[in-house]
Amino acid sequence: MKFNTKTIHGGQHNVDPAYGSVMPPIYQTSTYSQSTPGGHKGFEYSRSGNPTRAALERAFASLESGEYGLAFGSGLAAIDAVIKLLNPGDEVISTNDLYGGSYRLFTKIFEGFGIKFHFIGMEEASNIENFVTEKTKLIWVETPTNPMMNVIDIKAASEIAKKHNLLLAVDNTFATPYLQRPLELGADIVMHSATKYLGGHSDVVMGALVVKDKDLAERLYFIQNASGAVCGPQDSFLMLRGLKTLHVRMQRHCENGKKIAEYLLGHPKIEKVYWPGFESHPNHKIAKSQMKDFGGMISFVTKGNNYDEAIRIVENLKVFTLAESLGGVESLAGHPASMTHASIPKEEREKTGVVDSLIRLSVGIEDADDLIEDLKQAIG
């Protein structure tokens, strides 16, 4: 089954066996009747499993070429479950340019439980090996990175992980399985903030994990069930609905993203544009080899590196909405230093390029000409 068909049918039964419903029903229930203690039809309590959520988890697994999917209450809940695979004293090698919420979870929560994190540049994947010790258990990769759009070679990272018997987890939120499938490149775990492109309509908060290995899936399911970080049936239904248009949405995100990136690159007031589709991007060849296209996420800085100018621009946008998050059908603009990455200390942010003048765009599926006109009037 090809990807565009998988978005609609992948992992799904043809019809609901009860009444023939084409869409999986919303099983809005917390518990299930049993004929005898332990005698049930596959579900006993909705924290442990729910038919609507199960349908979604099968869809997640299908899209990422995995065997097992898990749906969580948020992307951070999914990341939380992965780190709970570890023990005090273990070490993690992580992308240094990553989502601020991930950094906050790693440093403010899990470092307190004795897990050590090394935040490093992974643009040269060989750099990862310099930080591997006998205590290393996990490599955490985000590619393209948020918000600097750095690209990391997943296959090369996988070779290092396998050489040292480490787990490799890839945050695939920006690319989505439409553009990039890390499990096919050797990753052990794929994570999504499904809130973003997978849902696609800015109306649900959710996280996802997908794996191939049965033992790893069982360990993660145990953590999920024991910790209770699950999503509800209504959100599962909304996410399933969103997935069915992922392929057509991503195609337009990519088309519009290219036009916006090229417009910004030629603007006299723009100093630098970060987008992996440019041949000048440091890892463009890797992006081209492991991604189908280059997505709709773009970051840029204005000349002079002026904080006030960046704030003026995002406040003056009219079609782009100034808001947190990304990946919806509508275009969004954000100021990472004061919004999504504010939890990272300023000196650490700036080491990776997240300066006070950086603006991040999530290019939606509107008419590209309208988006360009909006940027034109806002930048001036």
Would you say residue 286 has pLDDT above 80?
A: yes
pLDDT band, residue 305 (cuts 50/70/90)? confident
Cβ-proximal residues to 104 (8 Å cutoff; 6+ apart), any chain: 343, 344
Task: Compute, in degrees rounded to 10, the torsion defined by CA atoms 171, 300, 251, 12.
Answer: 20
The residue-averaged pLDDT of 5-14 equals 89
| Ordered DSSP codes for 71-116 | EESSHHHHHHHHHTTS-TT-EEEEESS--HHHHHIIIIIIGGGT-E
Catalytic residue among 6, 80, 97, 99: 99
Catalytic residue among 80, 171, 188, 374: 171
Closest CA to 192 of 206, 204, 211, 212: 206
Residues 135-169: tens digit of each pLDDT? 999 999 999 999 999 999 999 999 999 999 999 99
pLDDT band, residue 14 (cuts 50/70/90)? low
Instruction: Enumerate domains of the chain plus CATH numbers.
Output: 3-243 (3.40.640.10), 247-379 (3.90.1150.10)
Could you identify the residue written with the tokens 């000048």?
280
**Which residue(s) pair with 171 in the sheet?**
142, 191
Q: Does the annotation count 307 as an active-site position?
A: no
**Which residue(s) pair with 334 in the sheet?**
360
- Asked if 123 contacts 282 with a C-beta cutoff of 8 angstroms, the reply is yes
Catalytic residue among 27, 32, 47, 259: 47
Mark out the alpha helices in 200-245 (DSSP H runs). Answer: 214-227, 233-243
On average, the pLDDT of the chain sits at 96
Q: Tell me, what amino acid is at 282? A: P
pTM over 0.75: yes
pLDDT band, residue 278 (cuts 50/70/90)? very high
| Ordered DSSP codes for 14-44 | SS-TTT--SSPP----SB---SBTTB-SS-S
Q: Does the annotation count 249 as an active-site position?
A: no
Could you identify the residue written with the tokens 């800085």?
301
Q: Does the annotation count 99 as an active-site position?
A: yes
The residue-averaged pLDDT of 115-128 equals 97
Would you say residue 314 has pLDDT above 80?
A: yes
Task: Provide the 3-class DSSP secondary structure of residue 299.
Answer: strand
Q: Does the annotation count 171 as an active-site position?
A: yes
Provide the greatest CA pair distance for the chain: 73
Q: Give 264-271's long-range contacts (Cβ < 8 A, gap of 24+).
A: 264/298, 264/300, 264/375, 267/379, 269/302, 269/303, 269/379, 269/380, 270/300, 270/301, 270/302, 270/303, 270/379, 271/300, 271/301, 271/302, 271/303, 271/304, 271/305
Lowest-confidence pick of 2-16, 64-78, 193-207, 282-296: 2-16
Closest CA to 301 of 350, 228, 342: 350
Catalytic residue among 137, 181, 196, 349: 196
